[in-house]
Amino acid sequence: MGAGVISKGGKGGRRTRRSGRSQPMAEINVTPFVDVMLVLLIIFMVSAPLLTVGVPVELPQTAAQSLPTEQEEPLSITLTADGRVLLMSNETESEDLIGQLRAIAAERSSNKIFLRADGSIPYERVVQVMGALNRAGFANIGLVTDTGGPRLDGQGE
């Protein structure tokens, strides 16, 4: 992949005193570079789908520390066990949630929101609400849990 040398002189490769100097070749051979890049492209195309994990697991409860408090009153969404959605303490319909959140996001300086969900709610419903919060402009979503759950190191609090 380096630059080659072109020798001057047309006498079958023999050098004469007059034309004994060689000039560097001005062209770069890119064929080896293209070959390497195509091999890398194929490797990444084959390995990329294998990187996604699709193993279903039951998520355990953990002991998590609380988030620090802010100057602004924290905005919270609550999902109750009977399927109601509450924005702060006001019940709202799921269809109206994104519109209301966009109006609130326009007035707030922080894009942080807390999501409180009953433990009996299916995970799919919680993720749907998280997607709606993200579409409404709240990228910083904190999940609210109770403290005192099991820890990874097996010790109690």
Is 79 part of any domain? Answer: yes
Is 57 part of any domain? Answer: no
Is 28 part of any domain? Answer: yes
Residues (pLDDT < 50) of the chain are 54-55, 57-59
Is 65 part of any domain? Answer: no
* Total of domains in the chain: 2
Say yes or no: 85 and 32 in one domain: no
pLDDT given at position 43: 92
Residue 137 to residue 112: CA distance in whole angstroms: 9
pLDDT given at position 25: 76
Say yes or no: 29 and 84 in one domain: no
Residue 148 to residue 152: CA distance in whole angstroms: 12
Say yes or no: 81 and 135 in one domain: yes
pLDDT given at position 35: 94
Residue 66 to residue 17: CA distance in whole angstroms: 84
pLDDT, tens digit (0-9, with 9 covering 90-100), for 85-123: 888 878 888 788 888 888 888 887 777 888 888 888 888
Say yes or no: 30 and 88 in one domain: no
Q: Is 80 helix (H, G, I), strand (E, B) or coil?
A: coil
pLDDT given at position 57: 44
Say yes or no: 100 and 46 in one domain: no
Q: Phi and psi (nearest 5°) for 114?
A: -110, 135
Is 89 part of any domain? Answer: yes
Is 150 part of any domain? Answer: no
pLDDT given at position 79: 84
Q: What residues make up the domain containing 124?
A: 75-143
Say yes or no: 123 and 81 in one domain: yes
Query: 37 — alpha (psi -120 to 50), left (phi > 0) or beta?
Result: alpha
Residue 69 to residue 97: CA distance in whole angstroms: 25
DSSP letter string, 26-67: -----HHHHHHHHHHHHHHHHHGGGGS-----PPPP---PPP
For residues 110-144, one letter each, b for 16 or more C-beta atoms within 10 angstroms of the residue's C-beta and e for the rest, the string is: eebbbbebeeeeeeeeeeebbebbeebebeeeeee
Say yes or no: 88 and 36 in one domain: no
CATH number at residue 93: 3.30.420.270
Say yes or no: 45 and 89 in one domain: no
